């Protein structure tokens, strides 16, 4: 389908953008682990191919996790870190619905068994995101590796930097500009949300508490809004 192809093309460009965000933290290159852990990327791909078909919705989850990681201090896997005081990035409101952490941990354990202390979690998350999309029928895009894992994970930074579904255009553009990203990047990264599903709390305010007839946001397609109210977000 033409629409589906366009969406997948958007995803390729999107994660090219994310690669640039992460490149500030390390010198990225293709096949970074060719000498130090030559089977690394194949191990990731094999695990993804084995398990993602059983839970294909995780592809969208890993894309989202990857973006939420990259938008805070670059693509450094800081979103994976835990905090005994509940002050890590994963404790931030936008990250409370992230899932798939155990999947990343299992991939990490396989790589540690093959090459202890070599492959970064940041590269693992980036590769899993790409390979999950490919496995569910999406396109392939090149992923340079060599990212360094971050050691700082701050809930406030995540709450401040990760865009909210309730932000207006001006705020979104400011948040992206703060990361060195422009209007084109904003459009492409927003388009990445064409994979996966949304949650009713993200749109319920526009369905029930807006200024249009019946509480519907007048900027929404009225037929689509009524369908959501009747069948999805009651």
Binding site per annotation, positions for substrate = 163
Closest by CA position to 139, among listed 3, 2, 10, 1: 10
Torsion of CA 91, 96, 98, 101, to 10 degrees: 50
Rg (CA), the chain: 19
Phi, psi at 29, each rounded to 5°: -155, 155
Q: Which residues contact 103 (CB under 8 A, 6 or more apart)?
A: 51, 58, 62, 128
CA distance 27 to 181: 20
CA distance 101 to 234: 30
* Token pair 């927003």 in the structure block, residue: 190
**Sequential DSSP letters for 2-37:** HHHHHHHHHHHHHHHHHHHHHHTTS--BTTTTTTT-
Known binding-site positions for heme b: 193
Q: What is the DSSP-derived secondary structure letter of residue 52?
A: G
Known binding-site positions for Ca(2+): 69, 72, 74, 76, 78, 89, 194
CA distance 234 to 231: 7
Query: Which entry of 66, 68, 167, 199 is annotated as an active-site residue?
Result: 68
Known binding-site positions: 69, 72, 74, 76, 78, 89, 163, 193-194
**Angle (deg, nearest 10), helices 40-51 and 121-135:** 50
For the question of residue 68 being annotated catalytic, the response is yes
State the catalytic residues. 68
């Amino acid at each position: 389908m033409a629409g589906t192809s366009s969406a997948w093309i958007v995803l390729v460009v999107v994660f090219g953008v994310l690669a640039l965000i992460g490149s500030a933290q390390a010198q990225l290159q293709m096949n970074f682990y060719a000498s130090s852990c030559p089977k690394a990327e194949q191990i990731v791909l094999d695990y993804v191919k084995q398990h993602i078909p059983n839970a294909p919705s995780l592809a969208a989850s890993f894309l989202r996790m990857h973006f939420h990681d990259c938008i805070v201090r670059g693509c450094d896997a800081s979103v994976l870190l835990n905090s005994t005081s509940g002050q890590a990035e994963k404790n931030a409101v936008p990250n409370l619905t992230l899932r798939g952490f155990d999947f990343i941990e299992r991939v990490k354990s396989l790589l540690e068994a093959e090459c202890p202390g070599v492959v970064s979690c940041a590269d693992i998350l980036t590769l899993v995101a790409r390979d999950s999309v490919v496995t569910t029928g999406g396109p392939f895009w090149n992923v340079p590796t060599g990212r360094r894992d971050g050691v700082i994970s701050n809930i406030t930074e995540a709450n401040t930097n990760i865009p909210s579904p309730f932000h207006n255009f001006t705020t979104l553009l400011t948040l992206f500009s703060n990361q060195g990203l422009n209007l084109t990047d904003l459009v492409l990264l927003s388009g990445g949300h064409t994979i996966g599903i949304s949650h009713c709390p993200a749109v319920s305010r526009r369905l029930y508490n807006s200024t249009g007839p019946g509480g519907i946001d007048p900027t929404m397609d009225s037929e689509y809004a009524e369908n959501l109210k009747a069948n999805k977000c009651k």
